Structure 1
């Protein structure tokens, strides 16, 4: 074999095909014949041939020209492939295949899949939120409490992380009830609190301005300890 032949092979270049397409073509509703037909069209377009014939495509695969023709027709009808027209400088109009519909379908699929994952994560986060509340309250939540919790998320658009922080704040303040937590969330939203760090700093700021309450030690010989306290209901 001549060296020039080997060089000619290498100079044919390579084709880069998105890995996402390999992993999800079946999810898009394509079979292997349809997928390979599109890939051969892709290779032809990359090589400067935008409108390969069914005979040319079939010659590169293990299907007949008739099957290739039917496959191309199905891909166009199902929105995976389109035919566009280009006007050349000599005023001639030529046709070429376009894979834009394929990429649009792939992008739509990936975006929908991402939304479904995000929705699943949000639902799990809300479930964990209910579980956390029931653990702190030491009982199952009442229908009214469940509705209040849902309103905080759906209507007031409080992040579950912020709701958990408000729950911890109510526990620290010794005011474990929904009215108190609702007031905390109201104050935080009014002051633009959106992160755990902001909530922590906001609480510390107000606690520093409060008179600490003294807790008597069980053992008289021990000194009393001061616990900063901020009553959100008094704001």
Structure 2
């Protein structure tokens, strides 16, 4: 008897919940109660019940039928649920709920998010070109623009890291693309991925080291030489 009961439970099937809906229902303006109601509606649909009543929904939820009805009205106003009219072969008209508007809004939201991210990336890349032109004090040449694009697209350097390498070149007094390219190469080889790591790595080589014997000038004064780390010689 127990095995038969378990078989009956399993025969009821399951409701597939799209992970995208769980991850983005808040951004769609849905509450947890509305989400659960939508899932129960999907369950009814899979049972062949295409127009569940508020009372039927309330039997599966912890809210009364009146609140289920109010939630249904909100979902209809939000455009998450729609009512379709259907006429069968005998000419009898009937109505049914559909969740197509919900899936359409979810897809629209995902496309909008993707477009926003892409636009943000383009703006960051444009800002990178502007920073380079400001530091160089002139428009970049086509070759330099192509080099910048290669650093991003082919070498996979983040714009923030490229800006950090530019600042490192400015501090070192070696403002040219060959020098910056060498810095990026060294950073990538040594696993430098963040601004903090790049800062610490560069500061280590810019730190002055005491000389064993200071050089004496002709005037009799001692001249202290601050060691300079040349990335091109590394």
Give the TM interval when normalised to the shorter protein.
Answer: 0.5 to 0.7
Distance 2:28 2:147 in 1: 44
Post-superposition Cα deviations, 1:63-112, rounded to whole Å, max 9, x if no partner, equal 00000001101111121101111112332111110111111111111111
Aligned to 1:73: 73
Q: 1:118 to 1:167 in 2, by over 3 A?
A: closer
| Separation in structure 2 between the aligned mates of residue 162 and residue 18 of structure 1, nearest angstrom | 47
Q: Which runs of 5+ in 2 are unaligned?
A: 150-234
Cα distance in 2 between the residues matched to 1:16 and 1:4:
24
- Post-superposition CA distance 1:147-194 (Å, at most 9, x none): xx8xxxxxxxxxxx98711789xxxxxxxxxxxxxxxxxxxxxxxxxx
Q: Report Cα offsets for 1:33-62 as digits up to 9, x if no partner.
A: 111111111111122111111001011011
Match of 2:10 in 1: 10
The residue that corresponds to 2:53 in the other structure is 53
Deviation at 1:123, TM superposition (A): 0.7
- 1:115 equivalent to 2:138? Answer no
Q: Does 1:132 align with 2:132?
A: yes
Q: How does 1:87-102 map to 2 (within 5 A)?
A: 87-102=87-102
Structural mapping, 1:1-235, within 5 Å: 2-135=2-135, 137=136, 139=137, 164-165=145-146
TM-score by length of 1: 0.58
Number of residues paired by the alignment? 149
Q: Structure 1 pair 163/116, CA: closer, same or farther in 2 (3 Å)?
A: farther
In 2, Cα distance between equivalents of 1:162 and 1:80: 51
**Structure 1 166/92 Cα, relative in aligned 2: closer, same or farther at 3 Å?**
same
Give the TM-score normalised by the residue count of structure 2. 0.58
Task: Measure the CA separation in 2 of the matches of 1:163 and 1:66.
Answer: 67
Gaps of at least 5 residues in structure 1 are 150-160, 169-235
Once residues 52 and 145 of structure 2 are traced to their aligned partners in structure 1, the CA distance between those partners, rounded to angstroms, is: 61
Note if contact 1:133-1:167 (Cα within 8 Å) is conserved in structure 2.
Answer: no
Runs of 4+ in 1 over 6 A off after TM superposition: none
Cα RMSD after superposing both structures: 2.4
Q: 1:3 to 1:129 in 2, by over 3 A?
A: same
